[in-house]
Amino acid sequence: MTTSEAYDVIIIGGGLAGLCCALHLQKYELKILLIEKQSYPKHKVCGEYVSNEVLPYLGWLNIDPKAHGAVPINQFEISTRHGETIESGLPLGGFGMSRYALDTLLYNEVVPKSEVVIDTVTSVEFQDNIFVVNTQSKKSFQAPYAVGAFGKRSILDKQMDRKFVNERTHWMAVKAHYDYSFPENKVALHNFEGGYCGLSQTETGAVNACYLTTLKSFRACDSLEEFQQKVMSENSRLKDFFENAIPLFEKPLTISQISFAKKSIIEDHIFMLGDSAGLIHPLCGNGMAMAIHSAKLFSELYLKEIRNKNGNRDSLEHAYKKAWKANFAERLRTGSRIQRLLLNNTAASFAYTAVNRFPSILPYIIKKTHGTALV
Ligand SMILES: Cc1cc2nc3c(=O)[nH]c(=O)nc-3n(C[C@H](O)[C@H](O)[C@H](O)COP(=O)(O)OP(=O)(O)OC[C@H]3O[C@@H](n4cnc5c(N)ncnc54)[C@H](O)[C@@H]3O)c2cc1C
């Protein structure tokens, strides 16, 4: 096993949270190591609608998604499982961009200044105020601070024996790109028995279709195709989509064991960012913004507490936990309430009637699950 030189911060996971954290800290000449298990570019199961709240911060990090083809989105459409539809403007708006392009855009800005290792982290030890991070290829790296940005579920969650990994989850998700005629400025959320499917355009003109469903609903069918035809296509919007859309992936990407359980913000002194700290229900379309925002929160506090005040781990841990809860706890709770409501037939039908009668409720609900512009 080799032990390399020390870094200021080791970031585990190079999705949006990890990459933005690296970009932020490297601006201050810190020695950063980012370890990501998959090489770039890579597709990822995600709705690929990003809230505009992150644009000012991404600009500060020297990232301009619109210059790389991101599609501006300002309209939202939601349909019940019976195809009844409501449309609304999006208070802040957003953009459509594939994770294939967005993560790579960030990665290309990180590599000139920070070290990026493509490897899987298998364990993390904390002793005498130093982290030792071990990887699958038998390398080990050291730093006084470690950031966990390894997403919804990782072998590290098991290694750390985090409470949520032992709880049963019944969610799975599927995503693929399609050739389909769909308005450029719109994101749609179409409900079906046991789940919902998001549609929006990406920078290539392809339409991303990403759905979340309960295993119970899915198990009634033998294949994704059968599920799409029998269960999802009960909604006329999805019927039209699956009848006319031409798949652009050889086969869709799937993930399972998605957990929306509460997670610890700091685990064995590791600062958790993005989905590693908590996953908001995807229907809110705000998980990516939260991941990016958490990178900003951590980086600013790290610079304030450690760099400027010469290091106090306790005060940084306290400050990060407090900031995380103040910014995200209520959003997660609201997302959870909306998801429960949409998946309950009677409640969803009541909500549809209410929103139809008082359309201003919808932008209000959207605002409750989103933040304000990150400056
Ligand atoms: C079905 C679905 C639809 C969604 N739709 C949207 C949407 O439309 N809009 C939105 O804003 N959000 C959406 N989200 C949420 C969004 O995808 C996440 O919130 C976001 O990706 C979180 O970013 P992250 O950086 O925390 O994690 P990730 O982007 O998952 O990155 C984690 C990284 O860590 C790496 N990793 C994991 N384990 C290890 C290890 N042991 N060693 C090294 N690397 C490791 C992974 O390879 C990965 O690259 C959706 C989520 C789901 C499930």
302-340, pLDDT tens digit by residue? 999 887 777 789 999 999 999 999 999 999 999 888 888
* Ligand 1 mean position, distance from CA 274 (Å): 8
* Ligand 1 mean position, distance from CA 99 (Å): 9
Residue nearest to atom 5 of ligand 1 (CA): 47
pLDDT tens for residues 257-289? 999 999 999 999 999 999 999 999 988 889 999
User: Ligand 1, closest atom to CA 51?
Assistant: 11
User: Ligand 1, closest atom to CA 277?
Assistant: 26
Pocket test for ligand 1, best of 11, 42, 44, 46 (most atoms within 8 A of CB): 46
pTM of the complete model: 0.96
- Confidence (pLDDT) at 3: 52
Please list, residue by residue across 104-140, b when 16 or more beta carbons sit within 10 angstroms of its beta carbon and e when fewer do: bbbbebbeeebbbbebbbbebeeeeeebbbbbeeebb
- Ligand 1 pocket, residues with Cβ under 6 angstroms: 12-18, 35-38, 45-50, 120-121, 149-151, 154-156, 173, 198, 210, 212, 258, 274-275, 282, 285-289, 291
Residue 367's nearest CA partner among 152, 76, 85 is 76
More confident residue, 309 or 136: 136
Structure tokens at 1: 């096993």
| pLDDT band at residue 83 using 50, 70 and 90 as cut-offs | confident
* Ligand 1 mean position, distance from CA 359 (Å): 32
Based on DSSP, count helices (H) and strands (E) in the chain, helices before strands.
Answer: 12, 19
pLDDT tens for residues 146-173? 999 999 999 999 999 999 999 888 899 9
Handedness of CA 52, 190, 230, 171 (dihedral sign): positive
| Domain at 2-48+98-167+261-339: CATH architecture | 3-Layer(bba) Sandwich (3.50)
User: Ligand 1, closest atom to CA 156?
Assistant: 41
* Ligand 1 mean position, distance from CA 210 (Å): 13
- Confidence (pLDDT) at 349: 73
Q: What is the mean pLDDT of residues 45-67?
A: 97
* Ligand 1 mean position, distance from CA 355 (Å): 31
Residue nearest to atom 41 of ligand 1 (CA): 121
Residue nearest to atom 17 of ligand 1 (CA): 46
Where are the strands (E) in the chain, listed by range? 2-6, 9-12, 32-36, 49-51, 71-79, 85-96, 115-118, 121-127, 130-135, 139-143, 145-148, 171-179, 186-192, 195-201, 207-214, 246-247, 253-256, 266-267, 270-272
How far apart, in Å, are the Cα atoms of 153 and each of 84, 176, 178, 205, 228? 35, 21, 27, 30, 26
* Ligand 1 mean position, distance from CA 142 (Å): 25
pLDDT tens for residues 339-371? 887 777 777 777 777 777 777 777 777 777 888
